[in-house]
A and B are shown apart, each in its own frame.
Chain A
Amino acid sequence: MCVRVRPLVVTALLLLLACGGVARGEDPGRPRPERHVLGNGVVLIVQEQRASEVVALQLWMRVGGRDEAPDELGLSHYLEHMLFKGTPTRPPGSIDRMVEGVGGQDNAFTSYDFTHFDLLLPAGQAAAGIALLADIAVNASFDQAELDRERLVVLDEVRLTEDDPDRFLARRLSEEAYRPTSYGRPILGTPEQIRALTREQLARYYHKHYVPKNMSLVVVGAVDPGLIRRAADDAFGRLRGPDSPRAPMPPPPDLGGRSVDVPRPEKQAYLGLAFKAPAVADPDAAATDLFTYILGDSPSSRLSVVVRDRLALVSAVEAGYVTRQRGGLVTVTARLEPENLDRAEAAILAEIRRLQQDGVGEAERQRAIITAEANYAFDIETAEGLARDYGEAETNWTLAEELGYLTRLRQTTAAQIQAAARKYFGEYARVRFVPEAGAR
């Protein structure tokens, strides 16, 4: 599960998460956030933004699907569901009532590298929101009745994902490409594990990972940074807990020979290819980012122009960059008629080869850079968009690199893009959704 993924455009939005690279300096004209490290290791990032009278408050946790042991699958995601349920001083339902009672919103997201809890509130409620996030970060009650009811909700979520072919393809593809590392495990857990999960198990996992050194609080909105710093000190500064260093991960596996066909009720087929790509903080990330834009981010991208418009082999095709801390993927996904599966795959691969051999044109490179610049400009239209950029950067690489990322992209040459294309696009994992007998 990934932030900012809307069901129908999974890969396109994954691309927006692509950030990394080595910054020479900060992007000119870019507003600067303040970054503080509290005495106990909690990181606070604050930026005043007066675009509207709201504040985005996000608690980013350095824990996610990759931190789960084989008998803990789905616990990170289960915590995502349980934390807003209540604490000893906030009975079940009261958090939602408080937030919505002031016209705000709360939500939470789980990924393999991180989990985050988001509030969007009227700016005057910032201190109350910070106190709430600190409370749920360490004091969650895990009421047994609430926990049992939520089991059914999570099982519904598993089935719901399976019903949506775009989401399910993205998930199956990443599982196929990353197995047997922890990036390749089901982030929601298995139905058996969800049914068997106990309160003790969940509490143990929570207390192990929800410690100050794993926390970043990001605050963006119509607020006074000085007041926010005091509120964060009050609420988060006194939290205590041991370190919880992450277990080392083996390098991502080779992808050759990984192929699976999944029978599905849809009448159209789906094709997913995944290529190994640089990790989020790798110096090659910027070139890969641009490569992905050029390959398949928009109607003028190469795959759309050739495979969809000229060859008419697919109804939709997109490329996306799945950025993870310990190794990324570039995915290409397409929706098509089943009889075109082989020809479409060959055409996609031919287009990638053409990029590897002939490189990219200057106009294409410029368009890709403008696209990246625009993605950033549209992110910062809202307080929560900017907060997400900061939170993910702080959790997965560094805030400084994020702040210089556009500069780094602009300096990336056509030769570097071609070199990245040659370095990374070799063997690939494949997942196909094929209409089951009787569906047609």
Chain B
Amino acid sequence: MRRLLPGALAALVLAAPAAAGELPVVRERLDNGVTLLVRANPAAPVVAVSLLVRMGTRWETAADGGLSNFVQAVMVTGTAKRNGGEIAEAITGLGGRLSANGDTDYSEIRGTALARFWRELLGLTAELALEPAFQPDQVQAQRDFLLARVQKRRDNPPTHAFDVFFATLYGTHPYGLPTLGTPESLARIDQAAIVAWYRRFYRPERMVLAVSGQVPAAEVTAEARRLFGGLPRGGTGDDAPLAAPKPAGGRTVVEQASQQTQILVGSLAPRVADRDYAAVKLLGTVLGGGQAGRLFVELRDKQALAYTVAAFFDPLREPGSFLVYMNTAPGNAARAEEALRREIERIRAERVSAPELLRAKAYLLGTFEMDRRTNARQAWYLAFFETLGVGHDFPARYRAAVEAVTAEDLLRVARSYLHPLTTVVLGPPPAR
């Protein structure tokens, strides 16, 4: 493959599709606060469901880190009606997949199926979310799986480097916590903690259910209303604001046996709802978007310093993180890091040319349109933007914002956001 990004780090590329190609979305807020979003899409005989709940590492501490993801992991292993094996058989029988995980600002249950089974898929999703069994033996079994996954993340140089980077950048802010938790926090979390966490967050006001596929929208809405409408209200669903992180910058070196050295350099960035969000997305695209991005051209094509070079800036409710990433042969690491810094300095010093800005806009908008073509991505995007508080129709406004960004805007956001820089270098110890 010409390009390879670490799988666990799949970047969320954000832009907006051509408005003309947009299919209508039915949005309904149930009386109890659950938000429904349904998009009928005739393209292929499949359906995807995404149920997002405002529960995630944002509400966790180091002591109970990983709790949201733990809840989700146990949730799919049994309900009041079925055990894990029966659930797995049921979903396979629909031609689908079903999984759940915790993330930073939300937790998700997502499922897919052949379209003719949409009713069964919706029913299964509701059963998992509303009638979980949380059996103690499943808590223990999932803890073992999660501990193995934590180990795998630490063994894998790229994912380990990203975890170190976020911990360093965010400090005590919960965005610095690993979504999976740590061996210590996972050991501490018991069945009672899982049930309490579930009851605190699985409230109708905190839920968004999105469906996309070859389905009848009115019937899907009615069925969703029937399944979720009976849930009693639980409060306002509002969250107290968090204190903003204050990174000091600096350079952290981690030694780990590996063939390649990982280099990450970055800083804090705007919230998804901030005015500068679109401009910083474009900044990331000029630097690390695609094979015509500056990092790919300068560091890989011209200097052959790295196989993977990329910029990451994911939309978050609280301040996001902007980072450029590369991995390189250990012997090239010093030169590569210097070259990376030079590119950051350059974009803070010089105005981006008009053709470069045009390419970046086309790439950013085009990649997003490409990314939103499957029903699974559509269902997730709809629920995700709604959950983040910017509305499922955010893409249209965002598109306009991207198109309005000027070279002056880029220079301004580069200067205001790209410092102080936090650097993490992870690689083999120097040869003796």
Report A's interface with B, CB cutoff 8 A: 1, 6-9, 51-54, 80-81, 84, 92-93, 96-97, 99-109, 120, 122, 146, 148-153, 155-157, 159-160, 162-165, 265-268, 298-300, 304-305, 309, 312, 315, 335, 363, 366-367, 370-371, 373-374, 377-378, 380-382, 439
Cβ of A267: which chain B residues have Cβ within 8 Å of it? Answer: 151, 155
Give every chain B residue within 8 A of A6 (Cβ-Cβ): 7
Cα–Cα distance between A366 and B145 once the two chains are bound (Å): 30
Tell me the count of chain B residues lying within 8 A, CB to CB, of chain A.
76
Does chain A have a CB within 8 A of B416? Answer: no
12 A-B pairs in the complex with CB atoms less than 8 angstroms apart: A7-B4, A54-B370, A93-B292, A101-B363, A149-B301, A152-B304, A156-B329, A163-B157, A165-B155, A309-B84, A367-B89, A378-B112
A101 pairs with B304, CB closer than 8 A: no
Residue of A nearest to B89 (CB): A300
Contact status B1-A101, CB under 8 Å: no
B329 touches A100 (CB 8 A): no
- Please, which residues of chain B bring their CB within 8 A of the CB of A103? 362-363, 365-367, 369-370
The answer for the CA separation of A165 and B259 in the assembled complex, in Å, is 12
The answer to whether A374 touches B95, judged by C-beta atoms less than 8 angstroms apart, is yes
Cβ–Cβ contact A109 & B370, under 8 A: no
Q: Is the CB of A153 within 8 A of B307?
A: yes
Task: Quote the shortest CB–CB distance from B258 to chain A (angstroms).
Answer: 5
Asked if residues B152 and A335 are in contact (CB atoms below 8 Å), the reply is: yes
Q: Are A335 and B329 in contact (CB under 8 A)?
A: no
Whether A159 contacts B114 by the Cβ 8 Å rule is no
CB distance from B43 to the nearest CB of A (A): 4
Pairwise interchain contact A102-B366, C-beta atoms closer than 8 A: yes
Contacts of A300 in B (CB 8 A): 85, 88-89, 91-92
A158 to B: closest C-beta gap in Å: 8
Docked complex Cα distance between A95 and B236 (Å): 53
Residues on B lying within 8 angstroms of A by beta carbon are 1-4, 6-8, 18, 20-21, 43-46, 84-85, 88-89, 91-97, 112-115, 141, 144-145, 148-149, 151-152, 155-158, 256-260, 289-292, 296-297, 300-308, 327-329, 332, 358-359, 362-363, 365-367, 369-370, 373-375
Q: What residue of chain A has the Cβ atom nearest to residue B213's Cβ?
A: A381
> Cβ of A122: which chain B residues have Cβ within 8 Å of it?
366
Given contacts A104-B366, A107-B1, contact A97 B18 (CB under 8 A): no
B6 with A312: CB separation less than 8 A: no
Q: Are B292 and A164 in contact (CB under 8 A)?
A: no
Task: Kindly report which residue of chain B lies nearest to residue A53, judged by CB atoms.
Answer: B21
- Please give, as numbers and ranges, the residues of chain A lying within 8 Å of B20 by CB-CB distance: 53
List, in ascending order, chain A residues with CB within 8 A of B157's CB: 163
- Complex Cα distance A268/B18, Å? 47
Q: Taking A51-B43, A299-B88 as given, write out 15 further A-B residue pairs in contact, using a Cβ cutoff of 8 Å, ordered by the A residue number.
A: A54-B370, A54-B373, A93-B297, A100-B292, A155-B329, A156-B329, A163-B156, A163-B258, A163-B259, A265-B155, A300-B88, A312-B141, A315-B145, A363-B93, A378-B112
What is the chain B residue whose CB lies nearest that of A6?
B7
Query: When chains A and B are docked, how far (Å) is the Cα of A137 from the Cα of B358?
Result: 29
Q: How many A-B residue pairs have CB under 8 A?
A: 198
Residues of A within 8 Å of B302, CB to CB, are 149
Complex: A100 Cα to B93 Cα, angstroms: 41
Complex partner residue of A381 from B158, B292, B374, CB under 8 angstroms: B374
Residues in A whose Cβ lies below 8 Å from that of B4 = 7, 157, 160
Q: How far is the CB of B135 from chain A (nearest CB, A)?
A: 13
**A377 and B114 within 8 A (CB):** yes
With a cutoff of 8 Å between Cβ atoms, the chain B residues found around residue A151 in the complex are 304
Determine whether the beta carbon of B362 is less than 8 Å from that of A102: yes
B304 engages A377 (CB within 8 Å):
no
| B152–A374 CB distance below 8 A | no
Please state if A312 and B144 are interface contacts (CB–CB under 8 Å). Answer: yes
CB neighbours (8 Å) of B306 from chain A are 153, 156
* A160 adjacent to B155 (CB under 8 Å): no
Do the beta carbons of B290 and A100 come within 8 Å of each other?
A: yes
List chain A residues, Cβ under 8 A from B88.
298-300, 304-305
A92 to B292, CA, bound (A): 11
Bound-complex Cα distance A102 to B289 (A): 13
Asked if A160 and B329 make an inter-chain contact with CB atoms under 8 angstroms apart, the answer reads: no
CB-based closest 6 A-B pairs: A103-B366, A374-B95, A156-B307, A300-B88, A159-B259, A51-B43
Whole-angstrom distance between the alpha carbons of A371 and B89 in the complex? 11
The CA-CA distance from A80 to B369 in the complex, in Å, is: 26
- Contacts of B363 on A, CB cut-off 8 Å? 100-101, 103
Whether A381 lies near B366 (C-beta < 8 A) is no
Most buried by B among A80, A151, A315, A335: A315
A-side contacts of B45, CB under 8 Å: 377
Query: By the criterion CB–CB under 8 Å, are A370 and B2 in contact?
Result: no
Asked whether B290 lies within 8 Å of A367 as measured between CB atoms, the reply is: no
Q: How distant is B162 from chain A, measured CB to nearest CB, in Å?
A: 14
Which listed residue, B7, B307, B359, touches A7 by the CB 8 Å rule? B7
Q: How far is the CA of A4 from the CA of B181 in the complex (A)?
A: 30
Assess the A378–B46 pair: CB atoms within 8 A.
yes
User: Cβ of A153 and Cβ of B46 under 8 Å apart?
Assistant: no
Q: Is the CB of A159 within 8 A of B93?
A: no
Give A305 to B85 CA distance when docked, in angstroms.
7
A108, A162, A298: the one contacting B97 at CB < 8 Å is A298
When distances are taken between beta carbons in the complex, the residues of chain B under 8 Å from A380 are 44
How many angstroms from the CA of A373 to the CA of B92 in the assembled complex?
11
Residues of A within 8 A of B367 (CB): 103, 105
CB distance from B12 to the nearest CB of A (A): 16
Contacts of B301 in A (CB 8 A): 92-93, 146, 149
Contact at A1–B1, with CB atoms within 8 Å? yes
Q: B318: shortest Cβ distance to chain A, in Å?
A: 28
Q: Are B259 and A370 in contact (CB under 8 A)?
A: no
Q: How far is the CB of A8 from chain B (nearest CB, A)?
A: 5
Q: Is the CB of B359 within 8 A of A97?
A: yes
In this complex, which of A93, A266, A378 has the most chain B Cβ atoms within 10 angstroms of its Cβ?
A: A378
Min Cβ gap B361→A in Å is 9
Question: Closest CB-CB distance, A280 to chain B, in whole Å?
Answer: 21
Contact in complex: B43, A266 (CB < 8 Å): no
Closest chain A residue, CB of each to CB of B86: A300
CB distance A153 to B304 under 8 Å?
yes
Complex CA gap A309/B140 in Å reads 12
Residue in contact with B85 in the complex, picked from A99, A105, A309, CB distance below 8 Å: A309
